[in-house]
Structure 1
Amino acid sequence: MASIELKNVIKRYGKGKTANQVIHGVNAHIADGEFIVIVGPSGCGKSTLLRMVAGLEEITEGDICIGGRVVNQLEPAERDIAMVFQNYALYPHMSVFDNMAYGLKIAKVPVDDIKSRVDKAAKILELGPYLQRKPRELSGGQRQRVAMGRAIVRQPQVFLFDEPLSNLDAKLRAQTRLEIQKLHRELGITSLFVTHDQVEAMTLAQRMIVMNGGVMEQFGTPEEVYTRPATTFVASFIGSPPMNLLKDAPDAKPGVITGIRPEHLDITPSGWALQVEAVEMLGAERLVYGRWAHSATDQLVIIRTEEAHAVPVLGTTIHVTPRADRLHAFDAATGKRMMTA
């Protein structure tokens, strides 16, 4: 196992005035044994950052250290990492055992050691009954576990996951997330996990890096990122539904965007007046969408309520009151966090 240090990491494609910079000076220290999730929308640079750690992309500027060793000039095979991709990339003509053992055979690991490593990984991933099957005889979730098993037997210092659950359906994604959490608890190997799914990020991460346009917007625990977003981008990206960002809330100072989570708005006899436009029923809770007609920007506000509340009638006016200790303030010019009321 090893720590990972990203020191002012920059990536550009091309040279001179036509160069396209896609990673803008990322700095992060990842402790030995941490599980870090890199999350952000498509094209934000998260996979590029991961591929630079893996050695699959060259670094334009800065340093990447693994276990205290600068690895900028090292080939992927020399970095002592194992990578799990979105595409399982299994050999269709090989059994599960042979797929998991293939890299060790190429490295000329002794046969007994190979069997011991594969059997141990198969036990952890509950693949024991399937070792003699071909990939076509497995479900999508089982194939992904085989891909993870192939990484485990390498016994690397670092695991790198590049959107490994994207090809699974919702039920399998949830199940595999639990398996990955269990795997990390048992092995304790430093891990970087890339995803565009903020639910995946919140449930898996010990800490998370939120990327936007090649910039690291925030690096913190899921609780820190959710309760104290560093920017309006983080506030709007993390959370489902996202935080309400109001440009001209009552009592707000000029140049300030007021943020409030949907669950921190209470329906009350008086307060902000909203015209109900839609209601979504979500089992034990519901989302109410209200148009703030008094706002100069005619904004839509989302309220999360429990099933105990009466269902608002579409087209009627309701009043809501924000919880004062849950208000957030962001600079309208920079989008950066200013304070929490």
Structure 2
Amino acid sequence: MASLSFKNVVKRYGTGKNTVPVLHGVSAEIADHEFIVIVGPSGCGKSTLLRMVAGLEEVTEGEISIGGKVVNELEPSERDIAMVFQNYALYPHMSVFDNMAYGLKIARVPKEEIRTRVDKAAKILELGQLLGRKPRELSGGQRQRVAMGRAIVRQPQVFLFDEPLSNLDAKLRVQTRLEIQKLHRELGITSLFVTHDQVEAMTLAQRMMVMNAGRMEQFGTPEEVYNRPATTFVASFMGSPPMNLLSNAPNTDFGGAPGAILGIRPEHLLVGSTGWKVVVDTIEMLGAERLLYCRMGDEFLIVRTDESLSSAPTIGETLHVTPRPDRLHWFNSTTGQRL
């Protein structure tokens, strides 16, 4: 197990006029035992950064260190990392046991130790009854657990997860997230987990790196990122539904500054008899709560309500909503940075 460090990491493809910048100077310090989620939309550079840690992509500029050792020039096999991929990458002709043991056999680990490591990983992942099966005889969730087991038996310094849950259905995603949390508590191995799913990021991360167009917009705990987003991008990307960002909110005498964008989370807009006048366009029923998609002049905003309302709103109805003064966020309208 080891710490992980990014120092002004840059990635470019091509040369001269054909140069395509992908990462623009990412810097971060990750402590030993931390579980870090790299989250962002498609094309933001998150998987490229992970592949650079793995040694599958070259570093154009900057340094990546594992356990205090710069690994820029090391081969993947020399970095003491284990990677779990999106598509499982299991050998179809091998049993679960042989898939998990394959890397150890290549490394000439003694048979007795291989058996011990595989049995231990199988117990952690509840695969003990499946060791003799082939991948085609397993469900998607079981295949993903085998892929994680193959990484566990390596006993690496760092785990790398490249969107490992994206091929699972919604129920299995939730179940496997819980298994990954349990796995990290038991093993404590420094982990990087890449995802585009902000709910996945919020539930798994001890800290998260929010990426946008090759830049790290914010690095912090889920609570910090959600409660104090550093930019309008983070505010709109993190949270389901996203934060409302209003350029021309009426009566914005809440301590804001001229030329600022007002941000307010849907759950912090209170329905009452006074306040902003909005018209309900669409209603999304979510069981104990509702999301109201509303118009306020030229602005659109989302209001989250629950069953405590005396009567359920209807489409076309005019409501009054008031933002909680202690939950307002202000951003520079030009740069998008938090004020």
Calculate the TM-score normalised by the size of structure 1: 0.97
Aligned partners of 2:259, 2:21: CA distance in 1, in Å? 30
- Structure 1 residue aligned with 2:193: 193
- My pick for the range that moved more, 13-22 or 146-155, is 13-22
Letter in 2 for 1:318: L
Task: Tell me, in whole angstroms, the C-alpha distance in 1 between the residues paired with 2:246 and 2:323.
Answer: 12
Alignment partners' CA distance in 2, 1:233 and 1:131: 45
Q: Alpha-carbon deviations, 1:232-265, whole Å to 9, x = none?
A: 0000000000000000123254310000000000
The whole-number CA distance in structure 2 between the counterparts of 1:269 and 1:253 is: 27
Task: Give the CA RMSD over aligned residues.
Answer: 0.7
TM superposition shift of 1:18: 2.5
- Aligned partner of 2:268 in structure 1 is 264
Name the CA distance, whole Å, in 2 between partners of 1:280 and 1:4. Answer: 42
Answer yes or no: is 1:325 the counterpart of 2:326: yes
Shifted more, 310-319 versus 205-214: the winner is 310-319
CA shift, 1:80, in A, is 0.2
- The separation in 1 between residues aligned to 2:231 and 2:302, in whole angstroms, is 19
Match of 2:52 in 1: 52
Deviation at 1:16, TM superposition (A): 2.0
Determine the structure 1 residue equivalent to 2:2.
2
Instruction: Report the CA distance between 1:299 and its aligned residue.
Output: 1.3
**Residue from 286, 292, 296 that aligns with 1:292:** 296
Asked if 1:178 is matched to 2:178, the reply is: yes
1:79-129 CA deviation, whole Å, 9 max, x = no partner? 000000001111111110000001111111000000000000000000000
The one of 279, 283, 304 equivalent to 1:279 is 283
Aligned to 1:105: 105
**What amino acid is the match of 1:156?**
P
CA offsets 1:201-220 (integer angstroms, 9 cap, x no match): 00000000000000000000
Give aligned-pair identity as a percent. Answer: 77
How far apart, CA to CA, are the structure 1 residues paired with 2:261 and 2:63? Answer: 36
Q: How many Å separate the matches in 2 of 1:219 and 1:253?
A: 26
Question: Residue 254 of structure 1 aligns to a residue in which SS?
Answer: coil
1:250-301, Cα deviation, whole Å (9 max, x unpaired): 32543100000000000010110101111111101001111002xxxx1111
Query: Deviation string for 1:162-203 (max 9, x for gaps)?
Result: 000010000000000000000000000000000000000000
Structure 2: stretches of 5+ with no match in the other structure: none
CA distance in structure 2 between the partners assigned to 1:213 and 1:204 by the alignment: 23
1:93 maps to which residue? 93
Q: Secondary structure of 1:337's partner?
A: coil
Measure the CA separation in 2 of the matches of 1:276 and 1:95: 56
The 3-state SS of whatever aligns with 1:208 is strand
Alignment of 1:299-318 (within 5 A): 299-309=299-309, 310-318=311-319
Cα distance in 2, alignment partners of residues 70 and 144 from structure 1: 31
In 2, Cα distance between equivalents of 1:253 and 1:6: 35
Tell me how far 1:17 sits from its aligned partner. 3.0
Question: How far 1:313 sits from its partner (Å)?
Answer: 2.3
Give the distance between the partners of 1:314 and 1:42, measured in 2 at CA: 34
| Alpha-carbon displacement from aligned partner over 1:300-324 (angstroms, at most 9, x marks no partner) | 1100011121211221211100000
Asked whether the equivalents of residues 248 and 299 of structure 2 are also in contact (C-alpha less than 8 Å), the reply is no
Q: Note the alpha carbon deviations across 1:35-66, whole angstroms, 9 max, x for none.
A: 00000000000000000011000000000000
1:127 paired with 2:127, answer: yes
* 1:133-162 deviation digits (Å, cap 9, x = unpaired): 111111100000000000000000000000
Asked if 1:334 is matched to 2:335, the reply is: yes
TM-score between both structures, scaled by the size of structure 2: 0.97
Q: Please give the secondary structure, in 2, of the residue aligned with 1:194.
A: strand
Q: How many residues align?
A: 334
Q: Distance in 2 between matches of 1:211 and 1:177?
A: 21
Runs of 4+ in 1 over 3 A off after TM superposition: none
- Provide structure 1 residue ranges, at least 5 long, that are not aligned to the other structure: none
Q: Name the aligned partner's letter for residue 151 of structure 1.
A: A
Distance in 2 of aligned mates of 1:151 and 1:290: 48
Distance 1:179 1:314 in 2: 41
1:21 deviates by 0.6
Counterpart Cα distance in 1 of 2:135 and 2:33: 31
